[in-house]
Structure 1
Amino acid sequence: MSDPATAGRGDVVAQAGDLVAGLAAQPWGQVSPSIYETGRLVTLAPWLTGHTERLEYLVGAQRADGGWGSHDHYSLVPTLSATEALLGELRRGVPHGGRERIAAAADRGLDALFGWSRRGFDTPLPDMPAIELIVPYLTGGINRHLHHLTRSPLRLLSAWEGTAPLPVPRHMDDQKPAVIAARLRSGAALPEKLHHALEVAGEAAAGARGVPLTPAGTIGASPAATAAWLGTAGKTRPHHPARRHLEAVAGLHGGPVPCGVPITAFERGWVLSWLVRAGVPLRVPDALVAGLGDGLGPEGTPAGPGLPPDADTTSVALYALALLGAPREPGSLWRYRADPHFQTWHGEQGFSTTVNAHVLDCFGQYVTCRPGVRPRYATAMGEVESWLLAQQRADGSWSDRWHVSPYYATMCCVLALDAWGGRESEHAVRRAVRWILAGRRAGGGWGLWRATAEETAYAMQTLLLSRAAREEPARDEAAAGGHAFLLQTAAAGDDPPMWVDKELYIPLAIVRAAILGALNLAQRDPGVTLRIRQSAKRT
């Protein structure tokens, strides 16, 4: 009879091997489709392969309340994008067979948006890249469609004829997209971080001289930005590099497109570091290790082509290299220092706890590999430690701007502080561990909105990798319950998107790495395996 505590260990190792092989086989990265980005391609590139499938995806993803998106707090951007796209399709003259479904979806989308506006957009707007540009840009597009309805009525949308314009939320400047468009028309360059949302400039984005196309054929690692830059030329130039890139991206999910692609360095850094840190036996091809190192420049590395280098991707790539026995000097990170913490990129508005946790991991692992350099990094490590401690919430958790769930942020901060912090961090880590233990849901999992495989993996890694957690009597039972939950639910793939970009998304390979790492840790831990065996006997 097989041991229930270790029965799946070989399978976990095999799946991790397949996951690593997939990093080379799918170098652009594995990312969930995006309502926002798919809606933009419906509007900007109706000639692109998969147009009908993109429309079907939008209509099929609409919620019962007329909105789009995985959670109310994150619904405005995808709902604006989908509604504008469907209205534009109706104006183009969609074939009669699908006209009524598209019109009905657009009608429900408008009803949701105007309902939210009448309530003053009372759901707080989240901190998401370019939201202050995207919302006015899409609102303006919808209002142009509504104005057109008054002049050229559509029977299926007659209720919206003569409607007053949809307002933008308070405290948003509806002239910001026009400022960017004017700058592009002048030939001026834009900050590289704005390339990712180039579509907000409207027609001025087409062929903008100040925005160069990358060798990969992308603008800003964004299908929407790339389609906006390509403009109407895409329809008549099938061999243009940007057109070929969009065709390839549209093929990834059979029409719908992700929000960020390629994300090569981002995906590889996270997958490799998380699997190695969790002790999963791996054979990492030399080419993957070399590729992570080759991508590092004077300012670090970007998540993917068309994006600016950032401290997050850079620190995780360097951390992974150090774990893999190929440490590289992390001097590029000094460019992101903003005493006493580090910025994600130059000129960042706000801050990220997980970026700083990753910087602390990176410095700490490098110093472990090269003890002689400790004096150069000790001061910064101490300052980041103190800064992270100051960001801990009263309940013991952390939050972050790049992920919705506090379980992700808490895992990142706990593991960095536990590994590289001093005595002041020990109390903070214990508080966080107790917050994790208190947060278990029925069924054994963890989650912000509901129990998910992804968040359960983060909670389990916090419990099984931090030294302070070993002192907690409930730790082994909780991790065993999480292990059972993962075995029951991880394959379902129905977790909500929780990573933050222009819209919430799932970096599929990265999340899979977190789950496999958690399973491996549970199956190797004596206390947890004992609990798993005891539970199996009871059932």
Structure 2
Amino acid sequence: MSESSPRVLAEPATDAAARELIAGLALRPWGQVAASVYESARLVADASWLPGHHQRIGFLLREQRPDGAWGPPEGYALVPTLSATDALLAVLADGLWSGADLIAPVARGLDALSGRLLTTHARALPDTPALDLIVPALVESLNDRLVRLDRVVADRLPRPPLTLPAGLGPDRLRAVRAAVAAGAALPAKLAHFYEVLDATPSDAGPTLTAVGASPAATAGWLTAAGPDVGPAAHAFLRELIRDGDGPVPCPTPITVFERAWVLSGLRRAGVAVDPPATVLRTLAAATGAEGVATGEGLPTDADTTSVTLDALARLGRPADPASLWAYETADGFCTWPGSEDGFSVTTNAHVLDAFGQYVNVRPGADARYHRAVERLSVVLPAHQLPEGPWQDRWHASPYYATSCCVLALAEFGRGGAAAEAVDRAARWVLENQRADGSWGRWGGTAEETAYALQVLLAAPTGAPRVDDAVARGHAYLHQPSGRPHPPLWYGKELYCPTAIVRATVLAACRLASVHLADADRSVVDCGYQATKTTT
């Protein structure tokens, strides 16, 4: 497979957009993530004392869909709808907001839950993190609030006790709550969900900034700990609230995650980048023995460590990826050692990037590194779906997983299985382009179109049909839509890391314009749709 990097071309608009994007990494070190319905609703329900309470209520009312639910399509709406309905019920019970404004939205939310979302079998629900903790906790809270409502208000709402989806019970939630209450040492990543555990993190203290990289978990701790505890955490939440004018994002902070994905993606596409020293210093932590975490309050993980190592190598600072051996399993590489169910193809694709970069720079490296590259060159194709894409547990769109796997296999894959997998994926992408030139799971999006273009441009083919598809996809990205990027990344609910998505679109624009220029087509500078998109 080809190991060459795209040549860097002088394109003023894309280069200017890249410089602006990278400057923002240092100016907003906690990361840039769109507002979260789930997290904002938890603050409404459990931390009304925080500034911006009324703005968060208004945000929830604006974000409700016409069908009564909140959030993305399908089962992805369950968690945000539970959280928002529970929060509005809490406000209704407080009597500090006009009941006339809240009863109808609450009634529609309850109807959406009891009529559709909670009737879905657990097997059909998306595997978002801690769904088996969050859903039982919020169903319990909603039922408790409904029982305690004032009779006059309660008579105007549907009153069925909400039931859990078939196949999903409260046993794990009860066990985790009991363990936390007993002082047991739990996996560090559970701190991300402390708002549903009825406890506070044992390691919380006055210097703690964010509990589990989550505003809701942080607010839950502060509410339980009292007003005189956690000044750094108070400052963190107040800054987030000011930045978003009330609503809060999640996950936050995502400092290393954002910087690694942005810099790796831009440099891979040939975009000239010159990150500030402060940004590079945060990436250098990945060279340590345990790797690096997405952000403060989260455990180290193989995914963030791998992309960080890839970014450093592409910036001319290659480092030994020995920290990744801690994540090796019989099936490949896990995201967190000893505490993960399932297999992530994108984590393994990123691990292939990290090892591939290292053996390219040091071909005489220990044979174990070469064996890892050869092994992953077989493991990833084995997880490819029959039609040609990959699907993963960290992103709702198959275009993201397919792009991660194709880019790794095209650049570092060894053997016929890797080459065949790349070709099959490119054929699948060609067959699924929409009439307007876009790609997407539920509808055409700039983010998914960018992933599709990356797949086509990584595959070694010069077919005229590819040129036409690239031209149409490039034209779609060139058209400003004025719409926000939809949430597609897996968290407690789907979320949108806006800077990462902007970088993805910018990288695809660069790759497409280079391809079209090389094909002797008339090309307009990309302009970069994402800079004109509301976030």
For 1:264, give the aligned amino acid: T
Partner of 1:328, secondary structure, is: coil
**Is residue 2:27 matched to residue 1:31?**
no
TM norm structure 1: 0.91
> Per-residue CA shift, 1:307-339, capped at 9, x if unaligned?
010000000000100111111111110010012
Worse-matched range after superposition: 53-62 or 169-178: 169-178
Residue of structure 1 aligned with 2:390, choices 398, 402, 408: 398
Q: Between the two proteins, what is the percent identity of the paired residues?
A: 47
Instruction: Supply the distance in 1 between the matched residues of 2:152 and 2:465 (Cα, whole angstroms).
Output: 63
Instruction: Supply the distance in 2 between the matched residues of 1:70 and 1:118 (Cα, whole angstroms).
Output: 15
Residue of structure 1 aligned with 2:164, choices 130, 147, 168: 168
Q: Which residue of 1 aligns with 2:399?
A: 407
**Is residue 2:277 matched to residue 1:271?**
no
**Is residue 2:372 matched to residue 1:380?**
yes
> Per-residue deviation at 1:178?
2.6
Instruction: Supply the distance in 1 between the matched residues of 2:205 and 2:365 (Cα, whole angstroms).
Output: 39
Structure 2 CA distance for partners of 1:388 and 1:239, relative to 1, 3 Å: closer
Residue of structure 2 aligned with 1:504, choices 490, 494, 499: 494
Q: Which residue of 2 aligns with 1:89?
A: 91
Structure 2 CA distance for partners of 1:414 and 1:215, relative to 1, 3 Å: farther
> Per-residue deviation at 1:8?
10
> Per-residue deviation at 1:72?
2.1
**Is residue 2:155 matched to residue 1:158?**
yes
For 2:228, give the aligned amino acid: R
> Per-residue deviation at 1:528?
6.1
Instruction: Supply the distance in 2 between the matched residues of 1:326 and 1:215 (Cα, whole angstroms).
Output: 32
Superposed counterparts of 1:200-219, under 5 Å? 200-202=196-198, 205-206=199-200, 208=201, 210-213=202-205, 215=207, 217-219=209-211
Unmatched runs of 5 consecutive residues or more in structure 2: 1-7, 525-535
Worse-matched range after superposition: 306-315 or 187-196: 187-196
> Per-residue deviation at 1:44?
1.3
Q: Which residue of 1 aligns with 2:5?
A: none
> Per-residue deviation at 1:233?
4.2
* Equivalent pair of 1:79/1:109 in contact (CA under 8 Å): yes
> Per-residue deviation at 1:26?
0.5
Superposed counterparts of 1:60-209, under 5 Å? 60-95=62-97, 98-116=98-116, 119-120=119-120, 124-149=124-149, 152-155=150-153, 157-160=154-157, 163-202=159-198, 205-206=199-200, 208=201
> Per-residue CA shift, 1:171-226, capped at 9, x if unaligned?
21213323222222222222101010111112xx24x4x24359451110001111
> Per-residue deviation at 1:302?
0.5
Unmatched runs of 5 consecutive residues or more in structure 1: 1-5, 535-539
> Per-residue CA shift, 1:499-523, capped at 9, x if unaligned?
0010101100000001111111122
* Equivalent pair of 2:205/2:230 in contact (CA under 8 Å): no
Partner of 1:41, secondary structure, is: helix
Partner of 1:293, secondary structure, is: helix
* Equivalent pair of 1:340/1:380 in contact (CA under 8 Å): no
Q: Which residue of 1 aligns with 2:362?
A: 370
Structure 2 CA distance for partners of 1:216 and 1:322, relative to 1, 3 Å: farther
Partner of 2:274, secondary structure, is: coil
> Per-residue deviation at 1:241?
2.1
Structure 2 CA distance for partners of 1:214 and 1:381, relative to 1, 3 Å: farther
* Equivalent pair of 1:522/1:529 in contact (CA under 8 Å): no
Q: Over aligned residues, Cα RMSD in angstroms? A: 2.2
* Equivalent pair of 1:480/1:529 in contact (CA under 8 Å): no
Structure 2 CA distance for partners of 1:183 and 1:482, relative to 1, 3 Å: same
Q: Which residue of 2 aligns with 1:432?
A: 425
Residue of structure 1 aligned with 2:440, choices 415, 430, 447: 447
For 1:109, give the aligned amino acid: G
Q: Which residue of 2 aligns with 1:530?
A: 520
For 1:479, give the aligned amino acid: V
> Per-residue deviation at 1:287?
2.9
* Equivalent pair of 2:397/2:440 in contact (CA under 8 Å): yes
Q: Which residue of 2 aligns with 1:342?
A: 333
Instruction: Supply the distance in 2 between the matched residues of 1:304 and 1:213 (Cα, whole angstroms).
Output: 18
Q: Which residue of 2 aligns with 1:228?
A: 220
For 2:300, give the aligned amino acid: P
> Per-residue CA shift, 1:76-125, capped at 9, x if unaligned?
00000000001011111223xx3311222111111111112684558921
Structure 2 CA distance for partners of 1:515 and 1:229, relative to 1, 3 Å: same
Partner of 1:198, secondary structure, is: helix
Partner of 2:197, secondary structure, is: helix
Q: Which residue of 2 aligns with 1:3?
A: none
Partner of 2:210, secondary structure, is: coil
Instruction: Supply the distance in 2 between the matched residues of 1:119 and 1:515 (Cα, whole angstroms).
Output: 37
Partner of 1:338, secondary structure, is: coil
For 1:461, give the aligned amino acid: Q
> Per-residue deviation at 1:243?
1.7
> Per-residue deviation at 1:410?
0.6
Q: Which residue of 1 aligns with 2:533?
A: none
**Is residue 2:505 matched to residue 1:521?**
no
Partner of 2:300, secondary structure, is: coil
* Equivalent pair of 1:480/1:528 in contact (CA under 8 Å): no
Instruction: Supply the distance in 1 between the matched residues of 2:118 and 2:301 (Cα, whole angstroms).
Output: 39
The aligned length equals 516
For 1:409, give the aligned amino acid: A
* Equivalent pair of 1:72/1:123 in contact (CA under 8 Å): no
Structure 2 CA distance for partners of 1:120 and 1:333, relative to 1, 3 Å: closer
Instruction: Supply the distance in 2 between the matched residues of 1:99 and 1:126 (Cα, whole angstroms).
Output: 34
TM norm structure 2: 0.92
Instruction: Supply the distance in 2 between the matched residues of 1:118 and 1:55 (Cα, whole angstroms).
Output: 24
* Equivalent pair of 2:397/2:488 in contact (CA under 8 Å): yes
Instruction: Supply the distance in 2 between the matched residues of 1:215 and 1:233 (Cα, whole angstroms).
Output: 14
* Equivalent pair of 1:177/1:201 in contact (CA under 8 Å): yes
> Per-residue deviation at 1:61?
0.4
* Equivalent pair of 1:139/1:167 in contact (CA under 8 Å): yes
Structure 2 CA distance for partners of 1:526 and 1:65, relative to 1, 3 Å: closer
Worse-matched range after superposition: 76-85 or 337-346: 337-346
